[in-house]
Structure 1
Amino acid sequence: MSQHRVVLLLGSNLGDQKKNLELALHKISEAGNEISQTSDFLLTEPVEFVSSNIFCNIASVIFTHLSPIQLLDFIKNIEIEMGRIDDSKASGGYSDRIIDIDIIKYNNLIFKSERLEIPHQKHLFEREFSRILLKDFI
């Protein structure tokens, strides 16, 4: 099985945000994925919804054997394990969250389904905080 280079973006605006991000990265690594790079933390205002809770965000490059859909299922399970209740795709909007993990790039794959779009267009082209975090990873 070959290793796939994946860029992830993680965010949290509930509880101890930095600890939430570190725990999510630990869970990713613990499952046999190699974390090769991680950005500095970046504090940002919520995007596309109103909240008084500031986000802490981080970008990471991992190497994984998982397919894109397997990886999506894996990170969604981490979000649920950590207490995330509403998924923005399912609820149709954004809200405060303990953890959010997005797949930004997966090798040079271009992929689109109902559940997943790679590369992640909003993070690459529309969100300023994402461009700041991803500048050294893309």
Structure 2
Amino acid sequence: MSQHNALLLLGSNLGDTEKNLNCALKRLEDSGCQIIKKTGFHFSAPVEFSSSHEFCNVAVYVNTVLSPLKLLELIKKIETEMGRTNDSLAAGKYEDRIIDIDIVKFRNLVFHSELLQIPHKKHLFERAFSQVLISELNQTVE
């Protein structure tokens, strides 16, 4: 089976945010995703909605045998199992969340469907916190 490299961004702004992110990363690993590189935790204000809860974020490169849609399926399962009740895309708005996992890049693939947009242009070009994380991840030496 082919291994695919994917860039994921994770965020949490409810509860013990660092613990939430570590739990999500462990679930990814337990499901067969190999974490190749990881940034440190970064804290930022919510983007595109108002909240008094700061986000804790982390970026990772993973290797996976999953296709983009199967990886998205796994991510949604992890988010649901961890207690996330509303999907931002389905709800049409952003809100506080215990965990959020986004596929930012998947190899050099360009993919657009109702459920998934790769690359994730907001993270790559519009969100300052994402650009900081991606820059740090790309500077990290194994």
TM-score (norm 1): 0.98
In 1, the alpha carbon distance for the partners of 2:19 and 2:136 equals 23
Identity %: 56
CA RMSD in angstroms comes to 0.7
Alignment length, in residue pairs? Answer: 138
- Code of the residue aligned with 2:49 in structure 1: it is F
Deviation at 1:89, TM superposition (A): 0.4
Would you say the 8 A contact 1:8–1:105 is kept in 2? yes
Deviation above 2 Å: which 4+ runs of structure 1? none
Matched residue type, 2:122? K
Secondary structure at 1:122's aligned position in 2? helix
Q: Distance in 2 between matches of 1:25 and 1:35?
A: 8
Take 1:19 and 1:51, find their aligned partners in 2: how far apart are those partners?
20
Q: Give the equivalent residue in structure 1 for 2:18.
A: 18
Query: 1:55 aligns to what?
Result: 55
Segments of 5+ residues of structure 1 without an aligned counterpart are: none
Unaligned runs of 5+ in 2: none
Does the 8 A contact of 1:7 with 1:137 survive in 2?
Answer: no
TM-score, length-normalised on structure 2?
Answer: 0.96
- Local SS of the residue matching 2:122: helix
Matched residues in 2 for 1:35 and 1:128: separation? 23
